Structure 1
């Protein structure tokens, strides 16, 4: 029951991140705003969730893991309820972008912490991570399909209503979660560190999200703020300005962390967390996995909608082979963990993912049948499913139970950043092509294949023997 509640919560959070994309036009028409206004709400949700993930994770050491999880559910549910009743874009932003974003940052880290500390051995932990990771991937994949069906049949508000019902169910199930005794509660919370980390991640993610519109190097259009042109077209892309500001703030954050450690005070994230080579490589593979997953789903969905003229519902159904691959691999996570090391599983996952992308590039054409996409999508999903579980298990297992709050927040932030980079990278490649068509989509998929190859290199650098706790 504990794992089911945690997996369902991860499903809801992942579902919320992707379901809005198919309802943008309907929401804009109903609320009297523009498509850009609704896209801004989606962007703010991503920014809020990503920037607050580390502080939200640290609160598990202050409030307790189960209590933080419950608080996140309550905030998230309140946001979904407010968004479902929104009469204008302001309430939509308050409910979806802010409250659901804050709720996600509070409830997602405890999911992975509770899986770790309630598992009696490595095989059980791997199996449970497989269930949770599979639920997250299923939520991301089902978002456009389920959201499209609900929007078509009952209107866009029904999608938020579904989230409210699921949150209510999870709250009931969460009462049965038996949280093991954790480390002593910390009364001191690094407020300055939380502000610095949130601000730094905000600007980094914001910059990445601009790449799809303005490009990665040279700005395709004027970047304006309040009607004032801050960066003209043809100049430096806003990505680097925003990311530079974020990197500067994060540099100040790490200086702040070391200063607190020198004086014996507890920082938001201990610097020792980044001294472990296996942890760093595991985090890198997580980043690449989510980059490839979200980027490839974005490219494939846009290809079938723009080139083949499929509806959102048809596109969601077409992605079913990838979803089956993810769920099948996640369901087998426990058995695979008994037979293979995380290093071998991550490497194998990248090989399968790269093979899947190659098959899609070779077989899928504007006039090819639906069946041409099935082999590649299935291998893509299976590879991602294998890696998601193995990488999370590897990274979380490298830290002691007392440090689970620290590693969980960093792990989820890295994954969210990967999702943002994947969509932005794929979108920028498509937008940068003068004449969009089959060639532009092939180029975008090839770019993601290169990213997968870089992930494989990181996996090859993982040492043969890895200490776990």
Structure 2
């Protein structure tokens, strides 16, 4: 059995030949695991109103649960990759699958929002953080170098985009015709099937000394990532820059309304943690101590630029899904299945583009060119949705914009992960996978959190401005309404608002309903403009990707994961 070694103290043993039937089954198992992990990040968006009612909570509470799931994965993904290096990739995968299964069981049975968050956001997130990096390394050990491994990488990347795209359809079907609880129960069935197939998966064992766990790096990186995203999550309640209301901690006011938002403070603290993490990791590396993350990975342009591409792609995708799901449920009173069907053009476009890009574009065009085209399509789609939002009267008004966002996202997904993993040596695949999945989940967390925060911030500014300009309210009534909107800011339907203001005169009720609708529409317009800007940033990041030949035709240097990009030393211009 041939062995691949590299300059580090450990490597990966892999089989150069394997029975196609067996590797086909292995790929199915790995793709199923990837599917249930990624679909979790989008399939509850269409169930917002149902979850709010079931748990007697607010849209912000459910948004936080969605964001926390991907945040936990982002915060612990690099650590999960290192644990896989220490205990073995297959063992890490099995351990993660066990934790994930326990989490999805608790979620399906959850009686309260707190238990729901424990099962879904925390336990499933932790399980996924163990599984995902191991799965990328298991592809190396189970698929021979060459076209088989390249196809496995492409399938792994494409299934992520597909799962994110069709998640709303799955969530809508379960919520409308069965129960959202059964959606999580079905994930348990998939996990149990994966358990029965573990014997066919070949492990990716170490050769040489195994690393020790870097606790200092783990604490600093986790604290930094959690604090940054938590700060952005709190923007929905307090504001992006200036706090709309008093900030209380343990019953004590620590910031008063009008002062700096906790978002600015927490993001700044989080970035400081991450800077210290980088300095500590560099110091440990200089002294030849084991590190949580080999920062030299980022000397490869495919890795440094590719992780930015991954983050921004998922930020736009998840932000688009969350924003439109909220809009059609609150503005158009759509049910979960109607919301899912509204997002069908995006889902179908992701499926189509992932297939076309993986099989056709990868043979004819350089991955950099394909990814740039994908972001250009995303920007066009997001901008179109923003323009349509103000006058939209039906979900069908968004068909073209959604299709463009989905097609662009699927096009990028089919290329970017393959490009990154093809640029690193096999023994670094676990670490590279941890970096990829961390950036992906930070993007997903930020997409939901930023979309929610921007929607509420614009909603408050628009609503209070319209109230102050209205002639049906006295100055004192305007002041009271401004305070109510600011302090209790949340997106609600016209029906919910009508119930809440039933005691007001008819003329004022009509005015408030009109203001509520106009503020919601303006919010969606602005948030899609913001997502288009994120797409432009992604285009800029993609410009830094190395110029390489098409992935399926690139040469295969010895000891590397094909197809190669010739940028191990960043020689590609």
Tell me the TM-score normalised to structure 1 length.
Answer: 0.91
Please say if 1:347 is aligned against 2:372: yes
1:166 is displaced (CA, Å) by 1.3
CA contact (8 A) 1:127 1:331 kept: no
Q: 1:85 to 1:451 in 2, by over 3 A?
A: closer
Post-superposition Cα deviations, 1:325-370, rounded to whole Å, max 9, x if no partner, equal 1111222314322222211111111122122224434556644555
CA 1:162–1:329 in 2, change beyond 3 Å: closer, same or farther?
same
Q: Equivalent residue for 2:446?
A: 421
Q: Deviation digits for residues 372-420 of structure 1, max 9, x if unmatched?
A: 4222222211111111221111222221111112211121111111112
Rounded to whole Å, the distance in 2 between the matches of 1:441 and 1:31 is: 26
Matched, 1:408 2:507: no
Q: 1:112 to 1:215 in 2, by over 3 A?
A: farther
What is aligned with 1:4?
28
Instruction: Provide the residue aligned with 1:467 in structure 2.
Output: 566
Where does residue 227 of structure 1 map in the other structure?
A: 251
RMSD: 2.6
Counterpart Cα distance in 2 of 1:122 and 1:370 = 44
Are residues 286 and 39 of structure 1, via their aligned partners in 2, closer, same or farther at CA, if it must alter by over 3 Å?
A: closer
Q: 1:344 to 1:178 in 2, by over 3 A?
A: same
Question: Is residue 2:331 matched to residue 1:307?
Answer: yes
Which structure has the larger Rg? 2
Q: Which moved more, 1:208-217 or 1:388-397?
A: 208-217
User: CA–CA distance in 1 between the matches of 2:117 and 2:323?
Assistant: 27
Q: Does 1:110 align with 2:148?
A: no
1:85 matched to 2:168? The reply is no
Corresponding residue for 1:380? Answer: 405
Q: Post-superposition shift, 1:23?
A: 4.5
Aligned counterparts of 1:79 and 1:18: Cα–Cα separation in 2? 17
Structure 2 gaps of 5+ residues are 1-24, 464-518, 549-564, 569-573
Aligned partners of 1:43, 1:344: CA distance in 2, in Å? Answer: 31
Change (3 A) 1:223 1:464: same
Match of 1:431 among 427, 443, 456: 456
Q: 2:266 aligns with which of 242, 265, 272?
A: 242
SS of 1:19's equivalent?
Answer: coil
Deviations 1:194-222 (A, max 9, x none): 22211221111211222233232112222
Q: Give me the whole-angstrom Cα distance separating, in 1, the residues matched to 2:238 and 2:57.
A: 23
How far apart, in 2, do the equivalents of 1:294 and 1:361 lie? 16
SS state at 2:290 partner: coil
Residue 83 of structure 2 aligns with which residue? 59
Residues in 2 aligned to 1:34 and 1:450: alpha-carbon distance in whole angstroms: 28
Using the alignment, how far apart are the partners of 1:328 and 1:454 within structure 2?
Answer: 25
Q: Name 2:173's counterpart in structure 1.
A: 149
Cα deviation 1:160-207 (Å, max 9, x = unaligned): 211111111122233322345554461522122222211221111211
Distance 1:285 1:417 in 2: 12
| TM-score, length basis structure 2 | 0.75
CA distance in 1, matches of 2:80, 2:432: 12
Give the superposition deviation at 1:293: 0.7
Q: In 1, distance between residues paired with 2:370 and 2:187?
A: 33
The offset of 1:254, in angstroms, is: 1.8
8 Å CA contact 1:283–1:414 kept in 2: the answer is yes
> Hey, what does 2:299 align to over in structure 1?
275
Point out where structure 1 has 5 or more consecutive residues left out of the alignment. Answer: none
1:346/1:256 CA distance change after superposition, 3 Å: same
Mapped to 1, the partners of 2:444 and 2:207 lie a distance apart of 32
Q: Is the 8 A contact 2:26 2:142 kept in 1?
A: no
Please list, as runs of the form range in 1=range in 2, the aligned pairs for 1:62-461 lying within 5 A after superposition. 62-116=86-140, 118-121=142-145, 123-180=147-204, 182-184=206-208, 186-332=210-356, 333-362=358-387, 366-367=391-392, 370-433=395-458, 434-435=462-463, 436-461=519-544
Provide the C-alpha distance between the structure 2 equivalents of 1:58 and 1:441, rounded to a whole number of angstroms. Answer: 40
Q: Distance in 1 between matches of 2:406 and 2:59?
A: 31
- Residue 445 of structure 1 and its aligned partner are, at CA, apart by 0.9
Aligned-partner Cα distance in 1 for 2:527–2:48: 23
In the alignment, the residues of structure 1 paired with residue 168 and residue 434 of structure 2 have an alpha-carbon distance, to the nearest angstrom, of 27
**Residues 445-454 or 431-440, more deviating:** 431-440
> In the superposition, relative to structure 1, how do residues 28 and 276 fare at CA in structure 2: closer, same or farther (>3 Å)?
same
**For the residues of structure 2 that align with 1:30 and 1:310, how far apart are their CA atoms?**
17
Structure ranking higher in helix proportion: 1
**Structure 1: distance between partners of 2:539 and 2:90:** 36
2:37 aligned residue (13, 17, 23) = 13
Q: In structure 2, what is the Cα distance between the partners aligned to 1:29 and 1:311?
A: 13
- CA distance 1:178–1:462, change in 2 (3 Å): same
CA distance in 2, matches of 1:32, 1:25: 10
Q: Contact conserved, 2:389 with 2:524, CA < 8 A, in 1?
A: no
Relative distance call for 1:286 and 1:43 in structure 2 (3 A) is closer
Q: Retained in 1: the 8 A contact 2:47–2:336?
A: no
CA distance in 1, matches of 2:384, 2:392: 16
Asked if 2 retains the 8 angstrom alpha-carbon contact of 1:131 and 1:331, the reply is no
